[in-house]
Amino acid sequence: MEWERESVDAFVIRNARVIDPFSERDEVSDVVVVDGIVATGTPRDAMVIDGSGLIVCPGLLDIHVHLREPGQTHKETIATGTAAAAAGGFTFVAAMPNTQPPVDNPDIVAAIRRSAHQADHCEVGPVAAITQGRHGRAIVDFESLAQAGAVAFSDDGTGVEDDQVMREAFRAAARVGSVLIQHCEYVEISAGGVMHLGEISRRLGFPGLDPRSEEAMIERDLELCEETGGRYHVAHISTARAVEMVRNAKNKGLPVTTEVCPHHLILTDEACANADPNTKMHPPLRRDEDVEACRTGLVDGTIDCIATDHAPHGADEKAKGFLSAPPGIVGLETAIPLARLAMIESGLADWADLVRWFSKGPAEVLGLGRPPIQPGHSANLTVLDPNRGWKIDPATFRSKSRNTPFAGWDVIGRAWGSIRGRCVLHDPGDSQRRPLDGGIE
């Protein structure tokens, strides 16, 4: 079922908890929107949303998403991927460039932006490739891609292994004021591994993926970051040593940021013991101590944000078995409850922290200006129901793909909807919340 889309000139969300890390606001209040702008007075003809028990926060961002278009639309399209994003509470996603063809020229950037505008579920910021064709040999034209609307640069899916090419990329990104997002992996070290190198991989007899492949590239890149002064972002960090390396770099004042995925905050390689292809990730699920290090890194600010690495694959592809199936899982529609499970239920954080990790944190990584929830600013909001319990059922996903190891999990917390200007998207099946209703009392 598609979410209901309402075009509303004026409405008020009553008695909600307003959490806005951009203005350091956390209070129970009404939020009034008139003509797409946050306002003060409530018009008599305003529609009313009962916000009791809900959270109103800045529109959430996911800066690591695979929309698969162009080239792999049997897995996902910009329309289905952004519908999944909206269902998960996101008003912005950054689309990774490992498409077919890769996002290495301005025409593809423009096409992605047009398709996202036509779908009109959420904003899409295209991430351009670092190298031509993502081959790692020659950098792209950073200037033309930035002018076309690329929000960052990455060869995601592969790391840039050549030192001189990466050095040139740092300098080019600095010239256009952008950031490099690195998939950290030296293929020679990872040596075809399909899961974390450890007891479980040895027990199954599967090739193990050495964590040093991730850590060695981070080490190299941090040296280049210090040499060039360019901004650097570590994608989907997964090991304790990697977290410590980023922590040390930040303490030195380097312009370094990183993200962590919900699955790396919850699951370990023990989840792979039954060789379920839906537990095959890249980077792989790691050890208990890696999970704890990632959680600690979020809490102490070493890790800046949570990103899903939403990676849709067809059922036939995952059915090939653990050794042959492509790595990755869908994550847009389950990110909020899984982050809550990992960080709030564990007692490490609260909803204000989660909102920050999904809004201010990712916005600062990409250098995006986002409006605070204050009168006079445009309405770009997410409405969360922090207490709604539900069962994860892939059959209900808006995504075109169903590959998740969390099917059947009972979770708590879900997006009620999102608001972008006059456009209100909300879930008509949410029986705990009263839908839009005209008039005020």
Q: Which of 269, 309, 353, 427 is catalytic?
A: 309
Q: Predicted confidence band at 5 (pLDDT cuts at 50, 70, 90)?
A: confident
pLDDT by residue (tens digit) across 210-250?
999 999 999 999 999 999 999 999 999 999 999 999 999 99
Are 291 and 265 within 8 A, CB to CB? yes
Distance between CA 262 and CA 295 in Å, rounded? 10
Q: Which two tokens stand for residue 368?
A: 């995006």
Query: What value does the mean pLDDT take over residues 283-298?
Result: 98
Check residue 441 and give its pLDDT: 40
- Pairing assessment for the beta strands 410-420 and 25-34 based on DSSP bridges: unpaired
- Pairing assessment for the beta strands 10-20 and 437-438 based on DSSP bridges: unpaired
pLDDT by residue (tens digit) across 49-62?
899 999 999 999 99
Whether 437 shows a pLDDT value over 70: the answer reads: no
Structural domain boundaries of the chain? 59-366
Q: Which listed CATH number (3.20.20.140, 3.40.640.10, 3.40.1370.10, 2.60.40.10) goes with 59-366?
A: 3.20.20.140
Q: Is residue 309 annotated as part of the catalytic site, yes or no?
A: yes
Minimal CA–CA distance to 266: which of 215, 363, 338, 168? 338
Cβ neighbours of residue 107 under 8 Å, at least 6 residues apart?
A: none
pLDDT by residue (tens digit) across 155-209?
999 999 999 999 999 999 999 999 999 999 999 999 889 999 999 999 999 999 9
For the four alpha carbons of 348, 433, 5 and 41, in that order, the dihedral sign comes to: negative
Whether 439 shows a pLDDT value over 50: the answer reads: no
Check residue 3 and give its pLDDT: 74
pTM, to two decimals:
0.96
Which amino acid would we find at residue 119?
A
pLDDT by residue (tens digit) across 98-122?
999 999 999 999 999 999 999 999 9
Helical (H) or strand (E) element with 85: helix 78-88
Q: Which two tokens stand for residue 280?
A: 């095959």
Query: First and final CA of the chain: distance in angstroms?
Result: 31
